[in-house]
Amino acid sequence: MSVNIDKNKTTVNLDEQKVYMSRVAKIVKKRWERPAACVVTYGCQQNVSDSERIRGMLMCMGFEFTDNTGDADVVIFNTCAVRGHAENRVFGNVGALKHIKQKKPDMIIALCGCMMQQQHVAEKIRRSYPHVDIVFGTHVMHRLPEFLWNRLTGASRIFELPDSDGEIIEGLPVHRDGSVRGFLSIMYGCNNFCSYCIVPYVRGRERSRDPEVIIREAEQMVKAGYKDITLLGQNVNSYGKGEPHGVNFAKLLRLLNEIEGDFRIRFMTSHPKDCTIELLDAMKDCEKVCRHLHLPFQCGSDRILKQMNRHYTKSDYLALVEAAYERMPDLNLSSDVIVGFPGETYDDFLDTLDVVKKVGFTQLFTFIFSPRQGTPAAQLPDPVSRDEKVKWFEELLKVQEEILQSKMHDMVGKTYRVLCEEPGRMEGLVCGRTSGNMVIEFKADISLIGSFADVKVTNASNVIEGELVQKIS
């Protein structure tokens, strides 16, 4: 865990928010004996990273943290709009808070994140969830202290959901969850408008942070003991586009690789259309950059890829993978796949299976198409039944499971450098992650957590098991 405030780039807005932070701190100290906040995060790593900033602000306002909404004085749900079932879960969980708030009327409930940025959702909350105090959108997260202060001093319910292309707010305090692995956002928003995706509508246009600011934050993280830094962005491959500094993502990786210290660099997500040979060369050359590439292909059918507005074909994707394996034969690839996009046929789906078999992913994030209101794909005719899609989905899972088993089996007898990250399933076991993002469980003392170690894989069935060869650093 660490808290830092980047003083050099404090904006006017933030100065104002710092005043609100100290005002809120005074109020909550009087109002609650030990002010506690619970921040619940839904969705992707970008949301996890945003929640770390929300916690940073709350910590500066005098809050401690609890995982239990019932114990909290302030509950914040940082929501996700990418899939329908995550949205339903949020509505269910917000509904459940009604009874808690009846017993604790002082409690403040706030909702934020991508889901709230959609007008129809905010309207539903306004109408049907009167116990919710504050709803704020993705572009005004930094104004949480102001919203809290207004509500704590008697303002009526707050709905602050401006539409915007977005800006970059530097200098927010950060309260990171872990102490070994950490996220570092390098850019925000997306310009791609994949036809099924709500993100560009709720997160604004692409904007990249300055490379010096990113490097400074990475240096601080290394100094604080982080050994695995994941660079975040909706499409990191377009980092720096249109910026006068001329640092693209490949160059950024090279700059970060020069930071002194024993640590690893990961990144996500990479759009195949912007994944360049220059980037693959940088990955190959930079010893701190992990041998893992998350490169979502979504679908193997050119016809459907076109409808998805993805701007590459199956053969473009496979050529990219080949170029990546040529440079890094030990590279592990992972991907996102959507099954049952509107109009997809079984033949289209077979193209998806073909890509999965040809590439040999170590991890697949698989989803059945979920229409998102306001996106072009939600308007398309979708004649294939849900049952049929579930059958395709299960077929895909079966193929992937066989591939994974064979990949895991290939690891047996080999020694990997792992970062020891957390205790294993039983006492006396530790989990370590390879550069290729595979987790090995092995016998070791938990004091090893946070160190690198060499581990030999001894068995691979449901989990990968190994034995400690030596601690490295």
Residues contributing to the site for ligand SF4 (CB under 6 A): 190, 192-194, 197, 199-200, 234-235, 271
| Angstrom distance (rounded) from CA 16 to CA 24 | 13
Phi, psi of 460 (to 5 degrees): -145, 105
Q: How many CB atoms lie within 10 A of CB 385?
A: 10
Length of the chain: 473
For ligand SF4, which is the closer residue by CB, 149 or 196? 196
> DSSP letter at 196?
T
Give 354's contacts (C-beta < 8 A, 6+ positions apart).
Answer: 300, 314
In angstroms, give the least distance from the CB of 11 to ligand SF4.
26
Write down the least CB distance from residue 125 to ligand SF4, Å. Answer: 24
With respect to ligand SF4, which residue has the nearer C-beta, 150 or 234? 234
Of 78 and 375, nearer to ligand SF4 (C-beta) is 375
Q: Which is nearer to ligand SF4, 320 or 438 (CB)?
A: 320
> Residue 156: what residue type?
S
Distance CA 392, CA 404 (A): 18
Which residue's CB is nearer to ligand SF4, number 134 or number 197? 197
Residues with Cβ within 8 Å of residue 468, at least 6 apart in sequence:
442, 443, 444, 448, 453, 454, 455
- Who's near 258: CB < 8 A, 6+ residues apart? none
Alpha helices in 131-210 (DSSP H): 144-152, 199-203
Q: How far is the CB of 294 from ligand SF4 (least distance, A)?
A: 11
Please, which residue, 200 or 371, has the CB nearer to ligand SF4?
200
SS3 (DSSP) at 294: strand
- DSSP structure class, residue 331: -
Number of Cβ within 10 Å of residue 469's Cβ equals: 14
Report the residue number, 131 or 311, with the smaller CB distance to ligand SF4: 311
Is there a contact between 201 and 84 (Cβ–Cβ < 8 Å)? Answer: no
Q: Which is nearer to ligand SF4, 189 or 450 (CB)?
A: 189
Q: How far is the CB of 320 from ligand SF4 (least distance, A)?
A: 16
CB of 444 to ligand SF4, least distance (A): 38
Rounded to the nearest whole angstrom, what is the least distance from the CB of residue 271 to ligand SF4 in the complex? 5
- Give pairs for 376-383: CB < 8 Å, separation 24+: 376/195, 376/309, 377/195, 377/196, 377/307, 377/308, 377/341, 377/342, 378/196, 380/307, 380/342, 380/343, 381/342, 381/343, 382/340, 382/342, 382/343, 383/343
Measured from the CB of residue 376, what is the shortest distance to ligand SF4 in angstroms? 11
User: Judged by CB, which is closer to ligand SF4: 78, or 234?
Assistant: 234
For the bound state, the minimum distance from the C-beta of residue 127 to ligand SF4, rounded and expressed in Å, comes to 29
Name the amino acid, one letter, at 370.
S
Question: What are residue 443's DSSP bridge partners?
Answer: 429
Q: Which helix (H) or strand (E) holds 386?
A: helix 386-411
Return the ∠ at Cα 18 (arms to 17 and 23), rounded to 5°: 95
Closest distance between ligand SF4 and the C-beta of residue 204, in Å?
11
Q: Which helix (H) or strand (E) holds 283?
A: helix 277-285
- Among residues 199 and 359, whose Cβ is nearest to ligand SF4? 199
Distance of closest approach, residue 337 Cβ to ligand SF4, in angstroms: 12
**Is the peptide bond prior to 269 cis by the omega test (within 30 degrees of 0)?**
yes
CB of 405 to ligand SF4, least distance (A): 29
Taking the least distance from each CB to ligand SF4, the nearer of 79 and 434 is 79
Neighbours of 64 (CB within 10 A): 12
The neighbour count for residue 312, using CB atoms within 10 Å, is 19
Instruction: Return the structure tokens found at 208.
Output: 């990249």
Which CB sits closer to ligand SF4, 78 or 269? 269
First vs last C-alpha separation in the chain = 20
- Beta carbon of residue 206, minimum distance to ligand SF4 (angstroms, whole number): 9
